Amino acid sequence: MWWTAATAPPDDLKGVDEKRDGGRRGVIAAAANATQFGRRWSGKILSAWFSRMRRHHLDDFVIRPATEADAASIAEIHTASWRDAYAHILAPDFLSGSIETDRLAVWSQRLRDGSPTQLVNVVLSPAGQAQAFVCGYCDFDPVWGSLVDNLHVRPDARGRGIGDRLFRAVAGELSAKASGSGLHLWVFEANVAGLRFYERLGGRVVESARSEIPAAGGKAVLRVHWPTIVQIG
């Protein structure tokens, strides 16, 4: 076996030799227990290893304020993200047609003429390629607080913890600048993965409304709220 003094087997695996004296049934039971224990510990070891590797990997990424020069890259990420995550939410003719022009116009305007309360950050890979972006507004609503208006990760860069890190970073920045402590965002009700992501971070659905995005056709959106940044999981 590969146990060490630091990973000694639990009580249900001690005395395996004694169980053998009980006959074939005892041997089978002991083997099953040993296999289950080995899988548990292997899973924990692998999980910890992947967690460490992901943290190390993220250390090589850079989050910085976006500039007008980033408009095209941000529009590209936004387009790719909507086409991937919103394929069943937004109108097909919009996703296959004018979305690229629409998003470029939006981000060119926002980065050129953004309000003083606007915050746009971009995540760059070690090679300098934009992988994700976030846009937030400080003190956006007197009841619900600051707003995270957009958070998108390039589809082929998901699953690395980039979105998690980016959300926590922008939440911290908005909280430091805001007069209040609340934070909120809107997520499509049909965007199950997105909603699950924000709920895992401690957000709570407080109300529903209809999307104002023309291509959404009035689909339901949910307001997710954090009363304070401390409540981000």
The predicted pLDDT at position 172 comes to 94
Of 130, 127, 150, nearest to 140 by C-alpha is: 150
In this structure, what are the phi and psi dihedrals at residue 127, rounded to the nearest 5 degrees? -85, 0
pLDDT digit string, tens, across residues 62-88: 999 999 999 999 999 999 999 999 999
- The mean-pLDDT minimum among 14-18, 187-191, 213-217 falls in 14-18
**pTM of the entire structure?**
0.74
The predicted pLDDT at position 25 comes to 42
Of 151, 157, 209, 218, nearest to 183 by C-alpha is: 151
Task: Pull the structure tokens for residue 144.
Answer: 């619900």
Helices (H), the chain: 16-20, 24-58, 71-85, 92-95, 99-113, 162-177, 192-200
Distance (Å, whole) CA 140 – CA 118: 9
Q: What is the CA radius of gyration of the chain?
A: 24
pLDDT digit string, tens, across residues 16-60: 232 233 444 444 344 445 444 444 544 444 444 333 433 435 578
The predicted pLDDT at position 180 comes to 85
Of 96, 105, 86, 101, nearest to 217 by C-alpha is: 86
- The CATH number of domain 60-231, selected from 3.90.550.10, 1.10.150.650, 2.60.120.10, 3.40.630.30: 3.40.630.30
Task: Pull the structure tokens for residue 172.
Answer: 């911290």
Distance (Å, whole) CA 94 – CA 214: 10
pLDDT digit string, tens, across residues 139-176: 999 999 999 999 999 999 998 899 999 999 999 999 99
Average pLDDT score over residue span 202-227? 97
In this structure, what are the phi and psi dihedrals at residue 143, rounded to the nearest 5 degrees? -95, -45
Buried/exposed 135-164: b ≥16 CB within 10 Å, e otherwise? bbbbebeeebbbbbbbbbbbeebbeeebbb
Q: What are the domain boundaries of the chain?
A: 11-57, 60-231
Asked if 121 contacts 170 with a C-beta cutoff of 8 angstroms, the reply is: yes
